[in-house]
Amino acid sequence: MHESGRTFLDDLLATASPSGFEAASQRVWTDYVGEFADDISVDAYGNAVAVSEGAPDAPAIALTGHADEIGFIVRDVLDDGFLRIARIGGSDRTVSKGQHVTVHADEPVQGVIGQTAIHLRDQSDDEYQEIAGQFVDVGATDAEEAREHVEVGDPVTVSTEPRELVGDRIAARGIDNRTGTWAAAEGLRRAAERGVDATVYAVSTVQEEVGLQGARMVGVDLDDVDAFVAVDVTHATDNPDVETERRGPVELGAGPVVARGSANHPSLVALARDAAADAGVDVQLQAAGTRTGTDADAFYTARGGVPSLNVSIPNRYMHTPVEVVDLGDLDAVAELLAGVADGAADAAPFAVDV
């Protein structure tokens, strides 16, 4: 991974981006792609689109990731100054208590999600409390003091920094899915450097974690796109506590994951596998019998049906503050995307042979 690409990744991971509040992260993304894109646009809800123009008669392909992350939102300020919270997306109630958090008010406010000391709890009754029953302590002594700093509707994220682990692995909050937006941008950069025939879009969508909402907007708005490739994370199930029946074939460090079935168009699956072989990139396969759980599910039904593919980055501990990925997988995904863009002109039109 080149130096500017690594700096870009670190900047994305350091910028909070809960669903519905993605603007700061989108600014980081558009600043980076502005160095090599021919044009950049942002719609009313913050979906960001960059394009590298290709040959006039060549197909157009969009490489996408979603900018948003899970988090919390302030739903009430209590008389004693504590804050009640609700989920943004699929936040995990089993890892939230005892965490440092940031309330993203007009000025950031630091706090903690309270956890009663082990000495004061009846451990025989210990259970994971629902998010709606948890609270944030910002140090305020009453509601009046709390409201001087925060208000209902402010988003909240766990306060963590990206950490380098052994080898090429990193841990961070929000790897799902700033790594996908990183890959889309890097795929565009590498495709532009190659001078591919296809017109290539890079897209950073909003509000995936709350129902693929940004992808629904973009899928209609980009009406000249012939194919979408949605990059997201998927579960690497190679850690010891994954139950046997939930283990799959995906491992950290074994390469990008190409999904088959459901939204994944067979022509795009073939194109991705051929591009990987040409680039010397190892890929892993994953079954999507019903749905992918990614923006691909929204893209492929847009405008009466648009060929789509889900390519994923192996990720451990998804939807926790300590997600773990291998930088080698991430770099390989960007190379795979550039290869897909390069091969799009020869592979089009994308159709099912009936």
pLDDT at position 135 is 98
Residues 40 and 185 in one domain: yes
Closest by CA to 188, choosing from 178, 179, 198, 176, is 198
Mind telling me the catalytic residues?
A: 208
One-letter identity of residue 318: M
pLDDT at position 49 is 98
Question: What is residue 98's DSSP assignment?
Answer: T
Beta bridge partners of 286: 259
Residues 49 and 117 in one domain: no
Res. 208: pLDDT tops 80: yes
Identify whether 300 is part of a domain: yes
Residues 29 and 80 in one domain: no
Residues 63 and 76 in one domain: no
Q: What is the pLDDT of residues 274-313, one digit of tens each?
A: 999 999 999 999 999 999 999 999 999 999 999 999 999 9
pLDDT (average), residues 53-67: 97
pLDDT (average), residues 234-255: 92
pLDDT at position 292 is 97
Residues 207 and 310 in one domain: yes
The total of structural domains in the chain comes to 2
Helix (H) or strand (E) holding 227: strand 227-235
Res. 260: pLDDT tops 90: yes
The DSSP bridge pattern shows strands 60-66 and 199-205 to be: parallel
Domain that holds residue 285: 3-69+173-347
CB count, 10 Å around CB of 129?
A: 14
pLDDT band for position 88 (50/70/90)? Answer: very high
Q: Rounded distance, CA 155 to CA 88, Å?
A: 8
| DSSP conformation letters of 1-68 | --HHHHHHHHHHHHS--BTT--HHHHHHHHHHHTTT-SEEEE-TT--EEEEE---TTS-EEEEEEE--
Residues 125 and 48 in one domain: no
Q: What is the token pair recorded at 297?
A: 């599910």
Q: Rounded distance, CA 129 to CA 282, Å?
A: 42
One-letter identity of residue 305: G
- Angle at the Cα of 35 from the Cα atoms of 30 and 41, rounded to 5 degrees: 40
Where does residue 162 fall: left (phi above 0), alpha (psi -120 to 50 degrees), or beta otherwise? beta
- CB neighbours of 284 closer than 8 A, spacing ≥ 6? 249, 250, 251, 254, 255, 256, 257, 258, 314
Residues 60 and 84 in one domain: no
Q: Rounded distance, CA 273 to CA 271, Å?
A: 6
Identify whether 190 is part of a domain: yes
pLDDT band for position 120 (50/70/90)? Answer: confident
Is 350 in a helix, a strand, or coil?
A: coil
Is 160 in a helix, a strand, or coil?
A: coil
Identify whether 354 is part of a domain: no
pLDDT at position 233 is 98
Share of the chain above pLDDT 90, in %: 92
Where is the binding site for Zn(2+), in residues? Answer: 66, 176, 209, 232, 319
pLDDT (average), residues 325-339: 98
Q: Which of 113, 135, 158 is the last residue of a domain?
A: 158
Identify whether 353 is part of a domain: no
Average the pLDDT over each of 7-16, 20-29, 120-129, 148-157 and give the range with the smallest value.
Answer: 120-129
Residue listed under structure tokens 């893209």:
299
Identify whether 249 is part of a domain: yes
pLDDT band for position 319 (50/70/90)? Answer: very high
Residues 60 and 87 in one domain: no
Residues 36 and 98 in one domain: no
**Total number of residues shown for the chain:** 354
For residue 177, is the peptide bond before it cis, meaning its omega torsion is within 30 degrees of 0? yes
One-letter identity of residue 151: E
Residues 35 and 95 in one domain: no
Burial class (CB in 10 A: 0-12, 13-18, 19+), 320: buried
pLDDT at position 300 is 97
Residues 20 and 113 in one domain: no
pLDDT band for position 6 (50/70/90)? Answer: very high
Asked if 150 and 77 count as a contact pair (C-beta separation under 8 A), the reply is yes
Asked if 16 and 156 count as a contact pair (C-beta separation under 8 A), the reply is no
Is 7 in a helix, a strand, or coil?
A: helix
Q: What is the token pair recorded at 187?
A: 């795929």
Closest by CA to 306, choosing from 263, 344, 342, is 263
Q: Rounded distance, CA 328 to CA 167, Å?
A: 10
pLDDT at position 121 is 81
Identify whether 86 is part of a domain: yes
Residue listed under structure tokens 């210990």:
126
Res. 139: pLDDT tops 80: yes
Closest by CA to 71, choosing from 174, 165, 156, is 156
pLDDT at position 199 is 98
- CB neighbours of 166 closer than 8 A, spacing ≥ 6? none
pLDDT (average), residues 12-33: 98
pLDDT (average), residues 182-204: 98
Q: Which of 108, 133, 158 is the last residue of a domain?
A: 158
pLDDT at position 1 is 78
CATH of the domain at 283: 3.40.630.10
pLDDT band for position 247 (50/70/90)? Answer: confident
Q: Which of 158, 186, 208 is the last residue of a domain?
A: 158
pLDDT band for position 58 (50/70/90)? Answer: very high
CATH of the domain at 123: 2.40.30.40
Residues 121 and 213 in one domain: no
pLDDT at position 73 is 98
Where does residue 262 fall: left (phi above 0), alpha (psi -120 to 50 degrees), or beta otherwise? left
Res. 320: pLDDT tops 80: yes
Beta bridge partners of 73: 86, 155
Query: Residue 6: what are its φ and ψ, rounded to 5°?
Result: -70, -40
Identify whether 352 is part of a domain: no
Identify whether 54 is part of a domain: yes
pLDDT at position 291 is 95
